[in-house]
Amino acid sequence: MTRTRPAAVIVLAAGGGTRMKSQTPKVLHAIGGRSLVGHALRAARSVGPDHLVVVVGHGRDQVGPAVSASDPGVTLVVQEDQLGTGHAVQIALAELPALSGTVLVTYGDVPLLAGDTLAELVRQHESDDNAVTVLTARVDDPTGYGRVVRAADGGVSAIVEHKDATDDQLAIDEINSGIYAFDAAVLSDALRRVGSDNAQGELYLTDVVGIARGDGRRTGAFETTDRWQTEGVNDRVQLATLGAELNRRTLVRLMRAGVTVVDPASTWIDDTVTVEPDVTVLPGVQLHGATQIGAGATIGPDSTLTDVEVGAGASVVRTHGSGAVLGAGVNVGPFSYLRPGTVLGEGGKIGAFVEAKNATIGAGSKVPHLSYVGDAEIGEQTNIGAGTIFANYDGVKKHRTTIGSHCRTSSNNTFVAPVNVADGAATGAGTVVRRDVPPGALAVSSGPQRHIEDWVVTKRAGTPAAEAALKAQQASGDTDPVPSGDTAEENDR
């Protein structure tokens, strides 16, 4: 379908949102990885307008910067006093050059509105040569919505706010979404004639329909069968409801594109996430932000990834991660914590109860168990023993540890940064590495093992341990134990 390019899209985002009961402006609350106004901007930008305007008011110190960060090409307009939707559009038009063509008006709190729907609205508006075309939907309970009053010819004769509607009008189930396509010249002229004789004393944008109709211009409606696209957010109940519906739609889209989602009821994937075909998403998974999952990977169960890149064929089990890059074919988890800056090379492993931060781990290298790897670089095909700590912080500054390729470090090592372990080196169990280790060397830091004989028998007399020791001595024929305090090594001398 060829899309018509509107002259402007005006997004109204000045409302107070008092029912949210939040210090965060309503339009900055998020679902599916984007703020409400972020969803609105995405839909608006998709139709390629010459001008994109956002009208801000309440919370503009927060909303304005957020909008500009999301879309630097937006024109921001401030509505100092909220005098109605008609007034908001008036001040938006005043900031633009003279327009000809179609002007779309949408809202910053209608997150499921799709760009395709806006494009179809513009197409029908222009093909029918309408002065005004309103996006409508039919709902089971229209309470609170403006009613669409149809004329005998099927056009729209008026839109009546719920507070101003008669009993007959309240029975109408076709509702106004608040989203319009206007002829720019008709809109500009009609707004100068809109009055405030209504229950709220405001300038209603809806009155433009009646004015245009009275001038003999054609006013029509584009009825969507997807009423979710017209739903706005006014409180946190509606926020959660629309968030769940967006998530459902995201999962359906992914499943139809070749992704296996084992349990949609327990799976949350942001609209901003990329998942390639043949990925399997197990129960209890949350994927957020700019996360990318490569083909054939398995995620979950019970994993939360934010802004994480996962390579093809990887397995990520019971893992919490953010800002990490995981190569193809890696194995991560269970119970791994990936902090920003973690990079795991192809075929590598980060195992059970391992935390990694600002660390690059080379292809085929493994950190299998119970370790902290912070501010480190590990080469290829290296194995880090269980219980290893990369001691990166001296109390003032953080320092980096480098472990080479094909190294084998033993259990319960501590690497006191800054330190370098060269290629092919090894370490002994319990070693504290404070100095650089040459290539191929074995680093050890513990002294020879000492035995204080009969310590349990003399110091823990009468305990089950002491009784067990005595029985073991008798069974082995050791009736002349070494005197307490001596070592086996000393007696051999």
Tokens 């007034």 — which residue? 87
Residue 193 belongs to a domain with what CATH number?
3.90.550.10
Number of domains the chain contains: 3
**Chain position carrying tokens 């480190």:** 376
Task: Say if residue 206 is in the same domain as residue 329.
Answer: no
- List per-residue pLDDT tens for the chain, 493 residues long: 444 789 999 999 999 899 999 999 999 999 999 999 999 999 999 999 999 999 999 999 999 999 999 999 999 999 998 889 999 999 999 999 999 999 999 999 999 999 999 999 999 999 999 999 999 999 999 988 889 999 888 899 888 888 889 999 999 999 999 999 999 999 999 999 987 766 666 788 988 998 999 999 999 999 999 999 999 999 999 999 999 999 999 999 999 999 999 999 999 999 999 999 999 999 999 999 999 999 999 999 999 999 999 999 999 999 999 999 999 999 999 999 999 999 999 999 999 999 999 999 999 999 999 999 999 999 999 999 999 999 999 999 999 999 999 999 999 999 999 999 999 999 999 999 999 999 999 999 988 889 999 999 999 999 999 999 999 999 988 655 544 444 444 434 3
Pick the catalytic residue: 29, 87, 125, 369? Answer: 369
- Co-location of 300 and 421 in the same domain: yes
* Domain assignment present for 97: yes
- Domain-embedded: residue 241: no
Please check whether residues 466 and 420 belong to one and the same domain. Answer: no
Residue 463 lies in a domain: yes
Question: Where a domain ends, among 230, 245, 267?
Answer: 230
Per-residue confidence (pLDDT) for residue 486, from 0 to 100: 44
**Which residues neighbour 244 within 8 Å (Cβ) at sequence distance 6 or greater?**
none
CATH number at residue 284: 2.160.10.10
Q: Are 211 and 149 part of one and the same domain?
A: yes
Pairing between strand 315-316 and 298-299? parallel
In a domain, 75, yes or no: yes
Sign of the Cα torsion 166, 169, 171, 174 reads negative
Task: Give all strands of the β-sheet with 331-332 in edge-to-edge order.
Answer: 260-261, 280-281, 298-299, 315-316, 331-332, 349-352, 366-369, 383-384, 408-409, 426-427, 442-443
Residue 247 in domain: no
The verdict on 486 and 363 lying in the same domain is no
Annotation marks residue 399 as catalytic: no
User: Do residues 410 and 474 share a domain?
Assistant: no
Instruction: Based on the fold, state whether residues 168 and 282 are members of the same structural domain.
Output: no
Whether 199 and 159 share a structural domain: yes
With respect to residue 479, please indicate whether it lies within any of the assigned structural domains: yes
Residue 301 and residue 216 share a domain: no
Residue 492 has a pLDDT of 40
Whose structure tokens read 């168990």? 369
> Do 462 and 439 share a domain, yes or no?
no
Q: Which of the listed residues 443, 463, 483 is the one where a domain comes to its end?
A: 443
The span from the CA of 311 to the CA of 346, in Å, is 8
Owner of token pair 């690497």 = 415
Q: Give the Cα separation of 462 and 456 in Å (integer).
A: 10
**161 in a domain, yes or no?**
yes
Q: Per residue in 426-464, is it b (16+ CB within 10 Å) or e — as a string?
A: bbbeebbbeeebeeeeebeeeeeeeeebbebbeeeeeee
151 and 21 inside one domain: yes
pTM of the model: 0.90
Whether 79 and 149 map to the same domain: the answer is yes
Give the domain range for residue 462. 455-492
Q: Determine, yes or no, domain membership for 249.
A: no
Measure the CA–CA gap between 441 and 435, rounded to whole angstroms: 12
